Amino acid sequence: MAKTMAINAGSSSLKWTLYEMPEEKALATGIVERIGLKDSVFTIEYGNDEKYEDVLDIDDHEVAVELLLKQLIELNVLESYDEIEGVGHRVVAGGEIFSESALIDDEVIEQIDSLIELAPLHNPANLTGIKAFKNVLPDITSVAVFDTSFHQTMPAVNYLYSLPYEYYEDYDARKYGAHGTSHQFVAERAAEMLDKPLEDLKIITAHLGNGASITAVENGESVDTSMGFTPLAGVTMGTRTGDIDASLIPYLMEKLELTDVQDMIDIFNNESGLKGISGISSDMRDLEEAEANGDERAEIALRIFEDRVRNYIGQYIVKMEGVDAIVFTAGIGENAPTTRANIMKNFKFMGIELDEELNDVRGVERVISTEDSAAEVLLIPTDEEIMIARDVEYFKNQQANN
């Protein structure tokens, strides 16, 4: 049977899912962590809740790919490498070059490399995964799926910053957004659940995890999104600031006696958000426990997170002149009923209301609004990997028909 792998490569990790296609049946999933370091952790989940785990030294991504494929055969998940007909790679930044997924060739690899400045932490790692699979399985269909592609439909009024226009023309300074694959998946799934054409709906999708973004989807297209030039902008996140006044950069650098602006950006990315405000953790579960025990800063962090998400939802309702559905997804969106309730309580005046009993759930796909709510509110677990696999299937079919 034909099989496809969906790959999300990090600088020292390789996360993957193996599908039987076009049935979209997940056969195995796993992650290789600490690549290039001692005691790399190699995990495969497969079959009927079976799990394989090993700890060994894995020098690089190519070695990780070779070990992964060999182990899938030893576990009888694969009979041979020939069963894998396609592989799809998540790539964070596609800039304005890629408005959709792309069949990977040497030119596409060069173009992804040229966009590293837009995602210096992510694109190099994504390229590493692409090259590793190319070396091990050179002849299969390889596809790059970009986090930013879904947002390329935004109009200029929503993606341009109020900077001298030549900064956009000369340096590509604009909003690109992120999490596009997730936003697209849950928007399409919401339309299916509501049994209405996606093109007829106004949907707000809230991808709330350690990284978080909100997107306005109108007529099936992204018209605005909260993340910006990089994934640092938008709502408060686990360790990221979200939107701030740019003047804080030189001000805080002087106070902290920093001379390298990258040190300041690192603080904004890794030491801020829920973690920075609370002083406890970036994990919502830890903060909810601390709040229950009377921790004031944990309470403030949670209220700030809810407020920033609520602000974007309200903004996008106005922008689209209404909303048919609001979707919660990703780690927090799927698993924090109290957070969902607190975000949505301010929309009761608009007739949008959660059903308390339906909302008291974690990770289960369902409508969570009342029957008479003015807009549907849905909980939809995201599945970026299946979107990647579907794009690979599309290109395989294109190649077969040519």
Residues classed as catalytic: 147
Q: Which residue has the tokens 């020939």?
A: 82
Which residue type is seen at 259?
T
- Decide: 146 and 98 in contact? Cβ < 8 Å: yes
Contacts of 195 by beta carbon, 8 Å cutoff, 6+ apart:
none
Contacts of 43 (CB under 8 A, 6+ apart): 30, 31, 32, 33, 51, 52, 53
**β-strands 212-218, 202-208 pairing:** antiparallel
- Sign for the CA dihedral angle at 93, 99, 102, 106 comes to negative
Q: How far apart are the first and last CA of the chain?
A: 22
* Burial grade of 86 (CB within 10 A; 0-12, 13-18, 19 or more): buried
CA dist 153 to 134, 225, 297, Å?
31, 11, 39
Cα angle: 250, vertex 253, 257; to 5 degrees? 145
Q: Are 137 and 18 in contact (CB under 8 A)?
A: no
